[in-house]
Structure 1
Amino acid sequence: MPATKIFSDIFNLSEYNSNQEKMMEIIQNRSERFLRLRDVMDMTTLCRSSIYNLIKAGDFPKNVTVMGKRKAWLESEIEDWMMEKIEQSEQ
């Protein structure tokens, strides 16, 4: 069941619109930060090999070079990937 249907069933339309506006504000105001592999693993509950296998398959955000050999992921890209997974599970 799509999230919009769930929300419309639980809240009246004006409350839903208010909540949707609050979510958009939160998303637009988020600040960007780098995440280390351990942080990504903690956020997604995936192990190291699963993350790299998903990257290789094109199903997970690629890391970026911060400096030298130091790699990191953008927090917003990991959050977006997680939201995609949540939306897919609701369909």
Structure 2
Amino acid sequence: MAVLEFWGLRRVMETTGVSKSELYRLMRAGQFPQSRPYLHSPKRRFWLSSDIQSWQMMQVNKGDIQELTQPGSDFDGLLNL
């Protein structure tokens, strides 16, 4: 069973390689997991590690699909058979 962790902004930025301003832009656009408030300290926020890891996997999968559909890719050649 995977361990669920609460990650702060710094950890999210280090893990994803995405800057603070880009994270917030992506959240506003609905393209990145939303942060959550702590129950007894609502001004402090965190992300669930599982949400971030799922987002990362989606980025990898999107990249694979985009690479495969570029002109000249092996997949592109298969389409022309």
TM-score range, shorter chain: 0.7 to 0.9
- Equivalence map 1:7-18=2 (5 Å): none
Aligned length: 63
Q: CA RMSD in A?
A: 0.6
> Post-superposition shift, 1:68?
2.5
**Rounded Cα–Cα distance in structure 2 between residues aligned with 1:63 and 1:89:** 24
**Rounded Cα–Cα distance in structure 1 between residues aligned with 2:25 and 2:42:** 23
**Given the two structures, how large is their TM-score scaled by the length of structure 2?**
0.76
**Rounded Cα–Cα distance in structure 2 between residues aligned with 1:57 and 1:81:** 14
**Rounded Cα–Cα distance in structure 1 between residues aligned with 2:23 and 2:17:** 10
> Post-superposition shift, 1:43?
0.4
Identity value in percent? 33
The aligned counterpart of 2:68 is: none
> Post-superposition shift, 1:39?
0.2
The aligned counterpart of 2:56 is: 82
**Given the two structures, how large is their TM-score scaled by the length of structure 1?**
0.67
Structure 2 residue runs without a partner (length 5+): 66-81
Structure 1: 4+ residue segments shifted above 3 A? none
Structure 1 residue runs without a partner (length 5+): 1-28
Structure showing greater Rg: 2
Higher helix proportion (structure 1 or 2): 1
> Post-superposition shift, 1:87?
0.6
